[in-house]
Amino acid sequence: MSAGLTKGQETRQRIIAEAAAIFNQRGYEGCSIQAIMDATGLEKGGIYRHFESKEELAAEAFDYTWEAAWNARMLQVDEKSTGIARLKQLIANFVDHRSPVAGGCPVLNTAIDSDDGNPLLRARVSQALHEWVSRLQSIAKQAKKQGELDSAVDPKTVATLIVASLEGALMISRLERTDDALRRIQQHLNQYLDSAALQTG
Amino acid sequence: MSAGLTKGQETRQRIIAEAAAIFNQRGYEGCSIQAIMDATGLEKGGIYRHFESKEELAAEAFDYTWEAAWNARMLQVDEKSTGIARLKQLIANFVDHRSPVAGGCPVLNTAIDSDDGNPLLRARVSQALHEWVSRLQSIAKQAKKQGELDSAVDPKTVATLIVASLEGALMISRLERTDDALRRIQQHLNQYLDSAALQTG
């Protein structure tokens, strides 16, 4: 992981990794520099030697958390032979695999945290959301082209439905401390995909 | 509105109303006492005469914001003659009527803000979410009993689907600064309700 990194780059990476979970759990305002100092064992100057500002550190931490979440969501997806199976795998990954960085979905957390301010973070999370929706949309589009999904199905609506309902269900599940909402949404989405597929038969 | 309130109670209500939008936009940590002092024109002591702590003020502000959102979501709902029409009206209200308190849905904002801490706020938002899901569930249950919705439909799943997908779509729409995601979800939910209704015919 750290092959080829200078000691300075390694320290920078370590700060990002430690800060990621704190930002993701407590939000931008709730993540104090003191908490990052405590987690890394570094002094304030030792942290700010590597980052121009708290905004820059938060943006790098977001990218780190998003990459971890993305990797968890993409597990085994490309191994599936149909678009519908790929979409179902993505849904199952979201429901079953918590990202290794604590605090829930970084897109949801950071969107809520930055939608009324913090333009640098807002740009990063907008980009991440765009990637996430686009990936699903492109799978749905391909599935439609190959006759798996009904021609009346709109790939962007499928992608938006999956992202919106999973993110909303995650909010409910984290608040209720049970995965009931996520399971219900998974069931609905799978049935929806089956019904959109069935009509082509 | 202020009939029968003492001057102290009036001031307390005014602080809650001013603080509500600040908490809803900036989150608990992002809402400084200075910002509330600026908004109300009161000194710190003048604010804390009415509240034991920032936690208490945030909890009261949440209840205020939630009541405003709830009222916007319930507009014209009881005038509808069928359960399905009531559910569609609730969905349309969510999509078309922004709550009068700026910053988006208080349940979503406060859930994300408090799911890793702040037990007092967490309890308030859990209660609000429970009310919101229960109200939808009870309409769906009634619609099922009256033969409007297919007997295979699970009222709690309908309620969870509506809440999760609308909340997720609101997150996307606020981030993208367009209501495209909300409109797509509204269309999906309306079609879903129609298909769940149709099967009874």
- Would the pLDDT of B201 be above 50? no
Q: Which of A115, A156, A192 sits opposite B104 (nearest CB)?
A: A115
Residue found under tokens 């399905």? B84
B109 located within any domain: yes
For residue B32, what pLDDT is reported? 93
- Would the pLDDT of B3 be above 80? no
Residue found under tokens 């009993």? B145
- Running DSSP on this structure, what letter comes out for residue B146? T
Residues A101, A123: Cα–Cα separation, whole Å? 21
Cβ count within 10 A of residue A8: 10
Contact A27, A113 (CB under 8 A): yes
Q: How far, in whole angstroms, is CA B147 from its chain's centroid?
A: 29
Contact B59, B118 (CB under 8 A): no
A170 located within any domain: yes
Q: Which of A104, A167, A184 sits opposite B160 (nearest CB)?
A: A184
Chain B hits for A129, CB-CB cut-off 8 Å, are 172, 175-176
To the nearest whole Å, the CA of A157 is away from the closest chain B CA by 6
Interchain proximity B185–A26, CB inside 8 Å: no
A128 located within any domain: yes
With CA atoms as reference, the chain A residue closest to B155 would be: A184
- Sign of the C-alpha dihedral, residues B6, B11, B16, B17? positive
Structure token pair of residue B105: 């849905």
For residue A2, what pLDDT is reported? 52
Contact A174, A112 (CB under 8 A): no
Q: Which of B27, B165, B187 sits opposite A168 (nearest CB)?
A: B165
Contact A122, A115 (CB under 8 A): yes
pLDDT in tens, B24-34: 999 998 999 99
Interchain proximity B184–A28, CB inside 8 Å: no
Cβ count within 10 A of residue A44: 11
B115: domain range?
54-198
Structure token pair of residue B75: 């507009």
Residues B78, B146: Cα–Cα separation, whole Å? 16
Q: Which of A111, A166, A175 sits opposite B129 (nearest CB)?
A: A175
For residue B199, what pLDDT is reported? 54
Size of interface A-B (CB pairs under 8 A): 150
Chain B hits for A154, CB-CB cut-off 8 Å, are 184
To the nearest whole Å, the CA of B164 is away from the closest chain A CA by 4
Mean pLDDT of B94-117: 90
Chain A hits for B192, CB-CB cut-off 8 Å, are 192
B79 located within any domain: yes
Residues A159, B119: Cα–Cα separation, whole Å? 34
Query: Of all residues in chain B, what percent carry a pLDDT higher than 70?
Result: 97
Q: Which of A29, A125, A174 sits opposite B27 (nearest CB)?
A: A29
pLDDT in tens, chain A (201 residues): 556 889 999 999 999 999 999 999 999 989 999 999 999 999 999 999 999 999 999 999 999 999 999 999 999 999 999 999 999 999 999 999 888 899 999 999 999 988 777 899 999 999 999 999 999 999 999 999 999 999 999 999 999 999 999 999 999 999 999 999 999 999 999 999 999 986 544
Interchain proximity A164–B185, CB inside 8 Å: yes
Alpha helices in chain A (DSSP H): 7-30, 33-40, 44-48, 54-73, 83-96, 106-114, 119-145, 155-176, 180-198
Q: How many domains does chain A have?
A: 1
B134 located within any domain: yes
To the nearest whole Å, the CA of A110 is away from the closest chain B CA by 9
Interchain proximity A27–B29, CB inside 8 Å: yes
Residues A125, A143: Cα–Cα separation, whole Å? 27
Query: Worst-scoring range by mean pLDDT, A36-45, B8-17, B98-107, B113-122?
Result: B113-122
CATH number of the domain enclosing B111: 1.10.357.10
Entry pTM? 0.94
A182 located within any domain: yes
Q: How far, in whole angstroms, is CA B12 from its chain's centroid?
A: 22
Best mutation target among A34, A172, A194 (most B Cβ atoms within 10 Å) is A172
Residue B86: closest CA among B145, B142, B160: B142
Cβ count within 10 A of residue B96: 12
Give the DSSP letter string of B131-144: HHHHHHHHHHHHHH
For residue A197, what pLDDT is reported? 86
Structure token pair of residue A58: 């938060």
Residues B158, B192: Cα–Cα separation, whole Å? 9
With CA atoms as reference, the chain B residue closest to A162 would be: B165
H/E stretch holding A99 reads none
Residues A83, A155: Cα–Cα separation, whole Å? 11
**Number of separate helices (H) and strands (E) present in chain B:** 9, 0
Which residue type, as a one-letter code, is found at position A127?
Q
Q: How far, in whole angstroms, is CA A140 from its chain's centroid?
A: 19
A88 located within any domain: yes
Interchain proximity A112–B112, CB inside 8 Å: yes
For residue B31, what pLDDT is reported? 92
Interchain proximity B163–A168, CB inside 8 Å: yes
Q: Which of B27, B163, B184 sits opposite A27 (nearest CB)?
A: B27
Residues B115, A192: Cα–Cα separation, whole Å? 30
Residues A77, A82: Cα–Cα separation, whole Å? 10
For residue B172, what pLDDT is reported? 97
Interchain proximity A171–B112, CB inside 8 Å: yes
Chain A hits for B163, CB-CB cut-off 8 Å, are 168, 172
A36 located within any domain: no
Cβ count within 10 A of residue A163: 27
